[in-house]
Amino acid sequence: MNGEVQRRVVSKDGHNNIRIDNVDGMVKLYLHDIWTTVVDIKWRYKLILFVSTFLTTWFFFGVVFYFIAMANNDLDIEQASNHTPCVMNVATLTGAYLFSLETQTTIGYGFRHISEECPLAILTLVLQLVLTSLAEIFVTGAFLAKLARPKKRAETVKFSQLALVSKHKGRLCLMVRVANMRRRPLLQCQLSGKLLFPYVTEEGEKIQLHQESVDFQLDSSEQCPFLVLPLIFYHVLDEKSPLASLTAENLKGRNFELVVTLNATLESTASTCHSRTSYIPQEFRWGYEFKPLIFGTQSGKYVTDFNYFDEIQIRSDSSLLQESTNEKLLLEEEYSKE
What is the reported pLDDT for 155? 79
Q: Which helix (H) or strand (E) holds 224?
A: strand 223-227
Confidence bin at 280 (pLDDT 50/70/90) = very high
Write down the pLDDT at residue 80.
Answer: 60
Cα–Cα–Cα angle for 196, 232, 8, rounded to 5 degrees: 25
Q: What phi and psi, each to the nearest 5 degrees, are found at residue 98?
A: -65, -35
**Is 81 or 134 the better-scoring residue by pLDDT?**
134
Q: Residue 195's pLDDT band (boundaries 50, 70, 90)?
A: very high
> pLDDT exceeding 90 applies to what percent of the chain?
29
Q: What is the pLDDT of residues 199-210, one digit of tens each?
A: 888 888 888 889
- Count of alpha carbons within 13 Å of 108, Cβ hemisphere only? 21
Q: Which of 47, 64, 69, 142 is nearest to 104 (CA)?
A: 64
pLDDT of residue 199: 86
Q: What is the pLDDT of residue 220?
A: 62
CA distances from 318 to 120, 313, 314, 326, 327 (A): 89, 11, 7, 14, 15
In the predicted structure, residue 329 carries a pLDDT above the cut 80: no
pLDDT for res 316? 65
CA 54 to chain centre: 28
The predicted pLDDT at position 112 comes to: 85
> What pLDDT shows up at residue 294?
87
Query: Highest mean pLDDT: which of 6-10, 66-70, 74-78, 329-333?
Result: 66-70
DSSP state, residue 189: E
Q: Say what the pLDDT of residue 260 is.
A: 94
Given a cut of 60, whether residue 322 has pLDDT beyond it is no
pLDDT of 132 higher than 50: yes
The lowest-confidence range among 104-113, 119-128, 318-327 is 318-327
CA separation for the pair 338, 333 (Å, rounded):
9
Higher pLDDT, 19 or 162: 162
Selected residue with higher pLDDT from 118 and 328: 118
- 170-185 pLDDT tens trace: 889 999 999 988 888 8
Per cent of the chain over pLDDT 70 is 88
Q: Which domains does the chain have, with CATH numbers?
A: 26-148 (1.10.287.70), 152-337 (2.60.40.1400)
pLDDT over 60 at 330, yes or no: no
* Alpha-carbon span 229 to 30, nearest angstrom: 41
Query: Residues 6 or more apart from 171 whose CB is under 8 A from it?
Result: 236, 237, 238
**Local confidence band at 337 (pLDDT 50, 70, 90 cut-offs):** very low
Q: What is the pLDDT of residue 56?
A: 93
Tens of pLDDT, residue by residue over 87-100, are 888 888 998 999 99
Q: What is the mean pLDDT of the chain?
A: 83
